[in-house]
Chains A and B, each alone.
Chain A
């Protein structure tokens, strides 16, 4: 404590007087605006079990505050991803060989195992910039830009928002609009929809790059209910059009009676798929609607943060999400925050696990597990504390678990009992540091 001792008696008296009067000593008037930067940084590890996706991510959000509540916010995220992800093909009682997306080599999955594509390695850098400023006494506006780049994907977006306070600032009505143009440049080219997977070196099933456009709109009301209760309700609309297919996902082409994948023989001297696989194909348009409600409730020092989201889209996916956090103070400087999240979704109308040989192909089909029927739960704990200099640190550890079911009517012959949804267990560990200068 010795280092915090005031340097002189007069300074101590001035400080004591100010604290008694509840005022802050006036800062000298400056000719220029005095900048004030706030930094939010986080280091994240996300890791899935069974050598699936691992992500190490660095995140920075820097905000410069100006007079009159104007602010500039800059964001930077760098992700390093490795690991394997389910390709969409089903298990077989024999080993299966696949051509890699690049078309330059092949890999083999042992008998009985879920086919995972292990060529997944990427570095992603994302950048955001936003300018916010009040307009008059009751309006708040912001405009922003977002961009991201990874090896095979580029995102460019613009966004803007408008909010107005009513009713002694107890009610805020807000509206936001975001547009984005994304470009897929898949390794080896985007596959022709439903094209067969070909031998190594044969690229007749691939084309070039593809694009999609996204429009998001949000309108919402934030309402102060009482000194201790604040609620928000948002409606959001999102439309994506263009290439919405995942260029790396495939489906097994199976026998209509046994459900086993049709064997295939590569050309003489060539390396290639051991079975018949087809690239997936999704509709080129998707519209999502969601209704989101959040409440923050103060209970004698503890704060409950509860939210619920209902989402529905024209791919026939419906989902419900409940998120609960309780911030529990431990003394003056630290807190713990348990977190629970529940999620459930129904499958897309074109979700299937295989295509049947000799039958006319459906218009659209995907075996991507993320379009399937599953429930997910997240359970975690965060511990946060304030340093002596007033900066904040926190560490959180969470477990994320997906548990899915394949609808019984999608299983054919031997697939019954052999095929299961590729359940997922992942851990999330994050260290955050907030400081300003």
Chain B
């Protein structure tokens, strides 16, 4: 029950954040910095996948950024 509530709260938080964001941002001609490769959320997809896999194998958590590491019977 507690978990359902926290899930609902997370969704509400996302919606509030989403609607509050409509006044933020930049004009299309102001995207010079955001367009840089180093400003992408995932700059190196292979390194991100490697890290997800290592931490999935050694810790009890996974995912967050995207889907969980997974797909192995890791020891």
Contact = CB atoms under 8 A, between A and B. Distances in A.
Interface of A: 40-42, 44, 46, 53, 57, 59-61, 75, 77, 81, 85, 120, 124, 126, 146, 148, 150, 152-153, 155, 157, 159, 166-171, 173, 176, 178, 180, 182, 184, 186, 214, 216, 218-228, 230, 232-238, 246, 248, 287-292, 294, 296, 298, 303, 305, 307, 309, 311-315, 317, 319, 321, 327, 335, 343, 345, 348, 370-371, 376, 394, 396, 400, 402, 424, 426, 428, 430, 432
Given A126-B71, A180-B71, A223 B50 contact: no
Contacts of B14: 219-221, 233, 235
Nearest to B15: A221
Contact of A228 (B11, B33, B73): B33
Give the most central of A153, A227, A287: most B CB within 10 Å: A227
A132 to B, nearest CB: 12
Interface size class of B (residues with CB under 8 A): 35 or more
B47 to A, nearest CB: 7
Given A214-B70, A221-B21, A307 B65 contact: yes
Contacts of B63: 216, 218, 236, 238, 288, 290, 292, 311
Given A124-B72, A288-B63, A223 B46 contact: no
A379 to B, nearest CB: 14
A180 B25 contact: no
Interface in B26-75: 26-28, 30-34, 36, 38-41, 43-47, 49-50, 53-55, 58-68, 70-73, 75
Given A44-B50, A233-B14, A428-B54, A85 B75 contact: yes
Q: What are the nearest 8 A-B pairs in CB distance?
A: A170-B25, A153-B73, A292-B64, A155-B71, A309-B64, A235-B10, A319-B61, A85-B75
B41 A120 contact: no
A317 B61 contact: yes
Given A173-B18, A296-B41, 19 more contacts: A61-B49, A124-B72, A150-B72, A159-B67, A170-B26, A180-B70, A218-B67, A219-B11, A224-B34, A230-B39, A235-B14, A236-B64, A288-B68, A290-B63, A307-B65, A313-B60, A430-B47, A430-B50, A432-B44
A167 to B, nearest CB: 5
A223 B25 CA distance: 7
Contact of A289 (B7, B53, B72, B73): B7
B45 A152 contact: no
10 contacts: A42-B46, A59-B49, A61-B45, A75-B49, A126-B71, A167-B25, A168-B26, A170-B24, A216-B68, A237-B7
B29 to A, nearest CB: 10
Contacts of B59: 319, 343, 345, 370, 376
Contacts of B43: 305, 327
A386 B43 CA distance: 15
Contacts of A311: 61, 63-64
